[in-house]
Each structure stands twice: as structure tokens, then as C-alpha cells.
Amino acid sequence: YALYPHLSVYDNMAFGLKLRKLPKAEIRKNVQEAARILGLEELLQRKPKELSGGQRQRVALGRAIVRKPKVFLMDEPLSNLDAQLRTQMRIEIAKLHKNLQTTFVYVTHDQTEAMTMGTRIVVMKDGLIQQIDSPQAIYDHPVNMFVAGFLGSPGMNFLDVLIIEEKGCIFAQLADALLPVPAAGGQRLKEQGYLGRKMVLGIRAEHLWGSGDILDRHSECALDGRLEFSELRGAETYHYVRIAGREVVVRVSPELPAAIGQEVRVGFKMAKAHFFDQESGVNI
């Protein structure tokens, strides 16, 4: 956090203001205001070695706050914190942003941080902007496979399919199975010349069904697979199922257990499916 180990919390936060030769009364006022915002009022006389990682992080933030900048630039500020502290600091920085009503430019490789903290996300790859939008809009409508795979935990499932037409309906053929494409999406694929061509079908774990009444009502959108691994996460379970030679992640209720190696049936919520061009990766 680049804190001076021989200076107190107060002096660390006041250092930049002293360099600017501001009056002592103004320095004291700015530091105390920042300490109040960050909950550091009881720690102002301590040295950095007496602080926890999260407290040191708050001091570093306070050092920036006292200068009252128009824009905060944060480059992966939570990367060296443990998981629990990272969650706590995410909440504190989000509250800070709301209280200060100031622009934060926050760089991160952690998509959870981006989704939970950002009001606008800029997704970049190799120095090029891929998409700019709100977190929910990017999650629901990714412009290409890179964005679709990067945002979301677990990442979006990708399956190679062949687009065909039978009896006036458009289907995505996966191995020997046919998945019906919703009318609007099918018409769009047809108009753009994708009939008879291979594409990548993308679908998120929450848009796949593991069992239950939904499968019975939508049996035309279900495929057989083999369960290879289960990951219990408390309120939900992720099943890793091999379908047509590819592994997909299915989010199910913990009350629906299955044994490793068991044959399972997986339903596809095709209204939520995405179709990507195989070469460009663009969402059609």
C-alpha cells in the first residue's frame, strides 16, 4: 500500500497535503473527514505495522481522499487480500463511491469485482475495447465469445452446433439431437446466411435444467449426458456433464443429488441461448 512505516496513520494521510504546504487546520480537517468516512478515527495514531491488511488498504484510500480528486484511479487494489477481506473491501469501496459521488476508474481482472462494483464496465482484450455497458447488459447480451466467457462464474458454456431447417423451423443440431431455435433468433440466423453452417451455441449454467417438472414440459429441448463431477456451493450445486463430447456446467438445487458417472438428462432454455460466429466469435 506504499505506506510510510515510520509515520502514523494521520501523518501518512496528511503527507501529500503537507507537501502542498496547506494550512495545518485545513490538513487536520481533511484528514479527520476522510478518517470518519473510512472508519479510521480510532486508528489515527497507530503505525502501519499495527494495522490489519484491510485497515492499511483504507489508509491508502484515505491518503487519496484527503486530496479531494475529481477522479480516483485504482489498479487492482484488492489483489493481494484474502478472499474474505476482499469481499469486505469491495463493499467498503462501493459505499465510498456512493458517499463521495466521484468517478472511480477501477482496473481489475476479477470479473466478480467488475460485476458487483461497476456501474459501467469496459471489457478489454489485447488493449482493445470489446464492449462498454452496464454489468447486467454485458452479462445478458455479450457482443462476442470473449466477453461471454469472461463475465459470469462459472463461465458460459460453449458447444459446436450445425444450423439446419426442417419443416420451416430452425434447429441447432448437436450430435444426433436437434434443439429448436426460437422463431426470432432462427429468422435472424437464416437471414444472415447461417443455414447449413457450423456455429457456437453459448448458454449459461442457470439456463440449463438438471431435472424436475421443467424437463417433462420441455422434453424437446433436453439431451442425455454423463455426470463427471459435482461441486456443492451451499445454496446451489454445479454439475459438470459431458454432452456430445463437450463438458457443460449445469446449476441445480442441492436437493437434486446425482452420482458421478450417472446418466443424466439436461434441458436447454433455448430462449436464453446465444449463437456465435465460429471464426469471428461475434454474437449474431
- Strands 121-125, 274-277: parallel, antiparallel or unpaired by DSSP? unpaired
What one-character DSSP code corresponds to residue 144?
B
Could you give the count of Cα atoms lying within 13 Å of 260 in the half-sphere of its Cβ?
Answer: 4
- Strands 246-252, 263-268: parallel, antiparallel or unpaired by DSSP? unpaired
Q: Give the angle 122-64-103 at the CA atoms, nearest 5°.
A: 35
Q: Which residues, 6 or more positions from 146, have their beta carbon under 8 angstroms from its beta carbon? A: 123, 125, 130, 281
pLDDT for 71? 94
What one-character DSSP code corresponds to residue 120?
S
User: What is the mean pLDDT of the segment spanning 211-217?
Assistant: 55
pLDDT for 125? 95
Task: Look at 52 and 135; give whichever has higher pLDDT.
Answer: 135
pTM: 0.83
pLDDT > 70? residue 152:
yes
Q: For 60-111, what is each residue's pLDDT tens digit? A: 889 988 988 999 999 988 887 788 878 888 888 888 888 888 999 999 998 8
- Three-state DSSP class for 206? helix
pLDDT > 90? residue 252:
no
pLDDT > 70? residue 1:
no
Alpha carbon 6 to chain centroid distance?
39
* CATH C-level class of 157-277: mainly beta
Of 124-138, 142-156, 216-230, which range is least confident? 216-230
pLDDT for 221? 81
Q: Decide if 209 contacts 266 (C-beta within 8 A).
A: yes
Distance from C-alpha of 223 to C-alpha of 177, rounded to nearest angstrom? 7
| Dihedral over Cα of 140, 146, 151, 153: its sign | positive
- Map out the domains of the chain as residue ranges: 9-68, 121-150, 157-277
